[in-house]
A and B are shown apart, each in its own frame.
Chain A
Amino acid sequence: MSSRREFIKKTGLSTLGISLLGNSLLADNRLQRLTILHTNDMHSHIHPFQSGRNKGLGGMAQRSALIKNIREENKNVLLLDAGDIFQGTPYFNMYKGELEIKLMSQMNYDAATIGNHDLDNGLVGLKKQLKHANFPFLIANYNFENTILENTFSPYKIFDKNGIKVGVFGIGIELDGLVPKKLFGNTKYLDPIKISNKYAKLLKDKHKCDLVICLSHLGFKYKSQKISDLRLAKETKNIDLIIGGHTHTFLKKPVISKNLDDKNVIINQVGWGGINIGKIDFVFQQNNYKINLKKSSIFVKNK
């Protein structure tokens, strides 16, 4: 029990902040909370870092304990990963990603997308590990026609979280130049902006999702014009949240950008190696009851 108390103390500040918000607002049953937990670029880091500035941080058993604690407090949780699960420790060299996927399944991940390193053992290497996954890999802009992964992945998935409809779709980075051609074979890379607009619109308009999340492995930003999460946010519509990866960017808090409709898009990424978990708590209101609150008033509370 002492370890549990320790945990509460460690995250006490922020949990308090949320529960205060929760108590005042969520007492009103027309308001609901949804917690998005996310990781990216875990790179086969099963154990905590043993040296360097991240010494003692990370570890999948530790991550799981943290997630379990959060789930105890809040039933409305979505757990997502933005790719590059594979590669980085002998666990991947020896077991080809088997343990990473098994542990993620045990932790009840809801979805992941495909990072470039997840193809480091080729399409066949990823395919072999899928049998260990009880969560889907979502990818909308890779066309696997005429490959062994044809008809394997969905572009998106819709989650119903206690009445809140959440649409999640996956976007991958251009493989050419990052992954040897012989490994990705006939996989076609499709324009992230076009594809994101297509699926975000489908999820928002047709499926009436209350929240549209893009799980992206594009990377946070680049000096060049290369497509990034920042560019994707600006050049699309209907995305509420981009969970990013690839550039191993440690964002202290999410970046808010404006989309083509001048609406807010939240972009977040939490470094790499499982050092951090990103946690975003949304409060939703039921519009037909509320009159006064401004529409989509997204704000970040500084801690």
Chain B
Amino acid sequence: MIVCLIFFSSCTKLISIQSFESESIEVKNDIDSLIYKMIIPYQTEIDKQMDQNLCYTKNDLLKGKPESTLGNFICDLSLETSNKQADVCVMNYGGLRSTISAGNITKRDIFKVMPFENELVILELNKLEFYQMLEYLTKRGGEPFSGMEINQKNDTILYSINNKDLLKEKYIRVLTTDYLANGGDKMSFFKNKKQNQLGIKLRDAIITYCASKDTININLDKRISLNE
């Protein structure tokens, strides 16, 4: 019986790894026409949707510092979307991935500007954290924001929040994306804050806003001025 068992166990482990080789192959060139055929009807419908006109912009929506038409556009509409649940909105220059030329705005344009699935969230910053945020915005030479004015004069940063007397408030409600709220782009003053989710993706907010307008007219409005 024992012999039998030993025989059995030595017999079951028949195969072991002798060697291996590996490579990471770049996917390109050849096309499987069967797969391609399966894609076409979906692609046709997507193209139709993506090329759909949402609204018309009079000016180019461009990236830039300290302020930009694209940055102002996105932050202003986001703050509007929050429906007064937030006082100010702060985004990041690097997160806006494309620009939009004057003329019709399509869904595809919005997907190019915002390919990420970032969600809108609201954080409550105390005054110290808020001031750290202002320092960050000036040090970075400006980042997209809305709902306030910033005026840097030598070592001082003057600011005013629209429709709000900061002296009376304990917290400032900042609208941003979950990406930045999780510490993206070194916005450390956002880290470990409770995130109140608005339940809408930034891209969807832009699309909804554009679809609700005929024409948009975005200009620079000197919301930030920095030391020379």
**Which A residues are within 8 Å of any B CB, using their own CB?**
3-4, 6-7, 10-11, 14, 17-18, 21, 25, 31-32, 46-48, 56-66, 68-69, 87-88, 90-91, 94-95, 99, 102-103, 106-107, 120, 163-165, 180, 208, 210-211, 240, 250-254, 266, 268, 270-271, 274-288, 293, 295-301, 303
The prevalent SS among residues of A at the interface is: mixed
Bound-state Cα–Cα, A88 to B118, Å: 11
Find out whether the CB atom of B31 lies under 8 angstroms from the CB atom of A62.
yes
Find out whether the CB atom of A287 lies under 8 angstroms from the CB atom of B14.
yes
Find out whether the CB atom of A274 lies under 8 angstroms from the CB atom of B27.
yes
Find out whether the CB atom of B13 lies under 8 angstroms from the CB atom of A208.
yes
Find out whether the CB atom of A296 lies under 8 angstroms from the CB atom of B16.
yes
Bound-state Cα–Cα, A57 to B197, Å: 36
**A301-B21 contact, Cβ under 8 Å, with A90-B46, A99-B42, A163-B15:** yes
* Interface status of B17 (Cβ within 8 A of chain A): yes
Contact of B20 among A57, A251, A281 (CB under 8 A): A281
Find out whether the CB atom of A180 lies under 8 angstroms from the CB atom of B197.
yes
Select from chain A the residue with minimum beta-carbon distance to B115: A88
Contact of B38 among A102, A268, A276, A281 (CB under 8 A): A102
Find out whether the CB atom of B27 lies under 8 angstroms from the CB atom of A18.
no
Interface residues of B in 2-54 (CB under 8 A from A): 10-36, 38-39, 42-43, 45-46, 49-50
* Interface status of B159 (Cβ within 8 A of chain A): no
Find out whether the CB atom of A61 lies under 8 angstroms from the CB atom of B21.
no
The prevalent SS among residues of B at the interface is: mixed
Most-contacted residue by chain A among B11, B21, B26 (CB, 10 A): B21
Bound-state Cα–Cα, A252 to B23, Å: 7
Find out whether the CB atom of A61 lies under 8 angstroms from the CB atom of B39.
yes
**Residues of chain A within 8 A of B11, CB atoms compared:** 288
Most-contacted residue by chain A among B17, B20, B46, B115 (CB, 10 A): B20
Min CB distance, A164 to chain B, in Å? 6
Find out whether the CB atom of A65 lies under 8 angstroms from the CB atom of B15.
no
Min CB distance, A133 to chain B, in Å? 15
Find out whether the CB atom of A240 lies under 8 angstroms from the CB atom of B21.
no
**Residues of chain A within 8 A of B185, CB atoms compared:** none
A-B complex: 7 closest residue pairs judged by Cβ atoms = A64-B32, A65-B30, A61-B35, A61-B36, A210-B15, A285-B18, A65-B32
**A64-B35 contact, Cβ under 8 Å, with A210-B16, A287-B14:** yes
**Residues of chain B within 8 A of A99, CB atoms compared:** 38-39, 42
Interface residues of B in 37-77 (CB under 8 A from A): 38-39, 42-43, 45-46, 49-50
Contact of A298 among B14, B17, B45, B117 (CB under 8 A): B17
Interface residues of B in 106-133 (CB under 8 A from A): 107, 111, 115, 117
Min CB distance, A93 to chain B, in Å? 8
Listed by A's residue number, 21 A-B pairs whose Cβ atoms lie within 8 Å are A18-B21, A25-B19, A46-B39, A47-B39, A58-B27, A59-B28, A62-B30, A87-B117, A91-B46, A103-B38, A252-B24, A253-B23, A268-B22, A278-B24, A278-B25, A285-B16, A285-B18, A287-B13, A295-B16, A299-B20, A300-B21
Find out whether the CB atom of A7 lies under 8 angstroms from the CB atom of B20.
no
**Residues of chain A within 8 A of B20, CB atoms compared:** 266, 280-283, 298-300
Find out whether the CB atom of B21 lies under 8 angstroms from the CB atom of A94.
no
Find out whether the CB atom of B30 lies under 8 angstroms from the CB atom of A281.
no
**Which B residues are within 8 Å of any A CB, using their own CB?**
10-36, 38-39, 42-43, 45-46, 49-50, 107, 111, 115, 117, 197
- 9 additional contacts, CB 8 Å, given A94-B45, A99-B42, A297-B19? A25-B18, A56-B28, A60-B35, A61-B35, A94-B49, A250-B24, A284-B18, A295-B16, A303-B23
Find out whether the CB atom of B24 lies under 8 angstroms from the CB atom of A59.
no
**Residues of chain A within 8 A of B28, CB atoms compared:** 48, 56-59, 62
Bound-state Cα–Cα, A60 to B38, Å: 11
Min CB distance, A266 to chain B, in Å? 7
Find out whether the CB atom of A3 lies under 8 angstroms from the CB atom of B30.
yes
Contact of B25 among A164, A277, A300 (CB under 8 A): A277
Bound-state Cα–Cα, A275 to B14, Å: 37
Contact of A3 among B21, B22, B29 (CB under 8 A): B29
**Residues of chain A within 8 A of B42, CB atoms compared:** 46, 91, 94-95, 99
**Residues of chain A within 8 A of B26, CB atoms compared:** 57, 275-276
Bound-state Cα–Cα, A11 to B14, Å: 33
**A90-B49 contact, Cβ under 8 Å, with A60-B39, A279-B23, A280-B20:** yes
Bound-state Cα–Cα, A301 to B19, Å: 9
Find out whether the CB atom of A106 lies under 8 angstroms from the CB atom of B38.
yes
**Residues of chain B within 8 A of A62, CB atoms compared:** 27-32
**Residues of chain A within 8 A of B45, CB atoms compared:** 94
**Residues of chain A within 8 A of B115, CB atoms compared:** 88
